[in-house]
Each structure stands twice: as C-alpha cells, then as structure tokens.
Structure 1
Amino acid sequence: MTALATSVPVRDDRDPAAPRRRSRRPTAWLPTAVLLIGAVYCLLPVAWVVAASTKSGSSLFTTFTFAPGGDFLTNLGDLSEGGVYWKWMLNSLLYAGAGGLLSAFVSGLSGYTLAKYRFPGRGVIFNVLLAGVLVPGVTLAIPQYLLLAKVGMTDTYWAVLLPNILSPYGIYLARIYAAAAVPDTVLEAARTDGASEGRIFGRVALPMMLPGLVTVFLFQFVAIWNNFLLPFVMLSDDDKFPVTVGLFTLLNQGQTVPALYSVVIIGVLISIVPLIALFLLLQRYWRLDLVSGSVKG
C-alpha cells in the first residue's frame, strides 16, 4: 500500500502587513562615525579661531586652549584702527559681488546658447570649456597679468574683476541646467507668439534658470572672495587690496610686531561672516523655490 504524503500547513501568527525588522549590521555605525570625524576635522580650526580672537597677543602663544579670553573688543578696536580693514572688506564685497553677478549672467547666457541652439562648432566649444574646468586658476594668474599689463589695466579694480567674469565651470553648470529646466516647447511657443530671441531669454528662460544661476553665483562669490594669488599679482595699492591680501600684509608685519597676530586672527574671523550669511540666505532661497515649485506642480 502506497503511503499518501500529506502536507501539514504551518501556522504563522505574524501580521503580513506589519513591517519586517531588518537586522542591523555590525558596521552600520561606520558612515555616521566617518561623517562625525569629518565634521570635527572641518569645524575644529573654526572653533580655535573663535577662541583665539578673544585672546591678547601675549596669551595667544603661551597657552593653547579653547577657553575664551576677554580681549575680543580690544582686538576689534585694534583691527578697526585707521579703517583700512573695512576698506579691504568693501573691496572684497565689490570684487566678489560684482564678479559673481557678472559671471552668473555670462554663464547663464552662454549655457543657454550651448544648450538650446544648434550651430557649427558647438561641440568643440563645449569640449574646450570642459578642458578649461581642469585648468587650475593659479596657472593663469601670470598670463593674465601680462595681458592686462599690455593695456595698462594692472593695479585697477578691473584687473581683478575681468578675469573672474568668465567661469568655465559656471558655464558648464548653466548649460546642464538649461537643458533640463527650459523645455523646447515653451521656447517654440514664445517664438510662435513673435517674441525675439533676446526677449525669450530674458522673460522665459532666465526665470526658469534662476535656481541654477544662484548656485553659479554662490560658487563664484566664494571663489573670488577666497582668491589670493590673482589680486596679489595684479594690485600694488593697499587701498585696492581685498581682505585676503590685506590680512597677508598684516601677517608679514606680525613677524616684527607679534601683537598683530591677534589682529589678524580676529580679521580672519570677521571675513568668514559674509560667506556664512550669504550661504544661509541662498539656502533659504533654494527652499522657498522648491516649495513654490511643488505647489505649482
């Protein structure tokens, strides 16, 4: 007699709709630990600058602690004496602000042209721009100085502004953003309505590209603000120095006058404030743009 095999159902009391618990891997904490170490590595020098800006020149080198001192206002008064530091800050705002705005506009126009128009040599131009991204700006400072010296523009504000207007990386970003954010159907509808190409760019494409151009402006502003070699090569007048070159001159004087080191440190701390404020302002702008885009969608 053949034995009939019968299957006995196994009872499962678990709710099929309940989410299953995933077993945590032993190394799940590793990415968080790496991020924390990276954050400490980046923020530790900033914390030391904040603490050192409150110390006098004598106590700056005798004790290495993060405990704040009581000479912040004294150092700030020494820094503001003569007003030359604030002149350097205004120069940096001029170079970075005007250069960032002009660079964002030129990048937006160039990126839009490369993304939405078909013309001979477009691919060659884009490849040359990509090659320009790979060239460090440090290597261009001396050739730029020689070119501007030929036309008598060294030691002027234009000597720092003009080389920073054209940004290959900014044009690359604008080209990618224009290709994704500006639909061809919208442009064709505007042309059908009789709008000129300049009006289409200014009234249709530019508002759509604005979030990407804000990013280009931020990158270029930070790059110009932190730039040292170009203004150091181009300028010889102290009144035209940006804050980076100005603090460098004070640092050199600190070799003979050690009390100036505390002045340089508080100057470095104040020079960071505009960058933090700009980043927070533009971050708020990005969030508002994302919210408005989701509501419109």
Structure 2
Amino acid sequence: MTSPHAPVLLDEVIEALDPKPGDVMIDATFGAGGYTRAILARGAAVVGLDRDPTVRAHADKVAADFPGRFELKQTPFSGLSAAFAETGHDRLDGAVFDIGVSSMQLDQAERGFSFMRDGPLDMRMSSEGESAADIVNSWDHGPLAHILKLYGEERQSGRVATAILRRRVERPFTRTLDLAEVVEKALGGRRGAPIHPATRTFQALRIAVNDELGELTAGLEAAEATLAPGGRLAVVTFHSLEDRIVKAFLTERTGNTPGGSRHAPLQIETRAPSFTLMFKGAREAGEAERAGNPRARSARLRAAVRTEAPAWGRMAA
C-alpha cells in the first residue's frame, strides 16, 4: 500500500527517537503509518494513536507486516497515558507527535477540511462532537470572531464573522466552497493574495472543532507522565501557534524559564527539570525535502529526553 501521506522530517525524527529492538514507542499521530513503519523497521514495537477512524485500513496493513509489534488505539492525544496503560507494556521509550491536519484528510473532500474541494462543512478528525457547520451556523458574533482571530490570526475577524452571520440568516452553511466564497467576498476577493482569503478562517474552525491546541498541551503532559527516564520526545509542528506551545512546554520543563529582572525578580519554585533538550531550537527540513513536499516548508522539529525527575503536571498558565 502506497502511503498517501509523506511523513515530514522522517530522518530527523528517527534520529531523535533512536529506536532499537526491545524499545516500545508511541506514534501519537498514526495517520498512514509513515513514522510507525520507520520505527518498526528499526526493531522497536509501536503503539499507534489516532482519533480518526478512517486510518484503520492503514493500521491493519502495518499490523500484518509487523506481527506482534504494533497495535492501534483510537484516541486523541489526551488519552495517551490511558491508552498506553491498556497495552500492558511497562516502559515507554519514545513518543512522536505530528501536529495538525494530514494531507490525506485534506484530500478527502467528504471530511470538509479544505476550501479547495467542495464537501460537507465538517472538519471533525473523529466522528464525534461539534462540526464546523455547527459553529458557523450557531455561534454568536463575539465568540466566532474571537476564534477566527485567536486560532486563524485573521486580522479582519470581525468583518468575516459579520458576513457569516448575515448570510446564515438566508440559509445555513452546509458546504465548504459556500463558506469559502462568503469569506472571500467579505475580504474583498483575492487581489493577488499569496494565500486564499479563506485560509485563516478554515484553519481557525478546524482548530476549534478538534480542540487541537488543548489536545496538544494535554498530549505533551501525558507524554511527560508516561515516558520512562531516558525516553525520547519528538514533536513536529507546522504552525507558529503549535510551535509556541511546544517551545514553551520544553522551555519550562528543561528549567530554562527566564526569571524576572534584577529590580523585581520573580519568585519561582525550583523544580528538577523533567526533560533535557536534545538540541537547541528547532530543526527544519532541508532544501530537497522542502522542494519535494510542500508540507515540509513550515515544519519544525523539537526534541528532548526524559529525566528521572517527577513529571510537573499541568503547564503554567
């Protein structure tokens, strides 16, 4: 089976995880199994996580190709610890997260993720909960404008929200291209813009529908609580909103949180670092990968190793 989704920064992720025979690792975004197959090829066992029920066919193929060393758990990031406990493994040696929507989800018009293909306005990575259509057809102006600005970084969020509310009085939104057209008109058309005017709105709705940022935070905390000492964490992000969360988490957990000024020093409780950075900053894809895979152009990898210190728990607000 040819994978419909090329894993980004694959070589760098495998180098960071360094899987070996006898290791047990979690691929927290199984998808089409790209990272999983590479880890399994190195002799380790993998527990795949994914809340998208459509990945089952890929999981079955991986399980058949690597009997006894792979299993899939249908759960979001926040269920990582519980899912791993169910497997019976007593040690987690590594975890990889690939954040955001996958190319195969974008390619499936019936999922409603893309404004480039007409489909139901859904955007749910699982089959449960509030859809994008539910949000645009029922939310008040203030909350709708807020998520467009916060999650989509849409500077004209109020204008877009106003246009959506005005149009839904006539008839509710049900299709992706219908919403994209309304947003495009609200923003005055493309006028040579490098990205489609609806890009930020669709991103904001997708993040809100799936609570992506909340799940990312919960997943990082779950990985911290579950990884064994010496276990490795690798996180690939594609957007500044996601990367900021990962950077803040690792900055805090490695004990590198900046203190106050000499005039008003912050009183911060000293805690033993639960991670050590594997390398400073973030790694990006090389020119060849960026040229061959558009998703790689914005990808950033951060990685760290779990220490023996207790987990810190919830991130600081």
TM-score after normalising by structure 2: 0.24
Find the structure with the greater CA-based Rg.
Answer: 1
| Larger RCO, structure (CA 8 Å, separation 6 or more) | 1
Q: Which has the higher strand share?
A: 2
Q: Which has the higher helix share?
A: 1
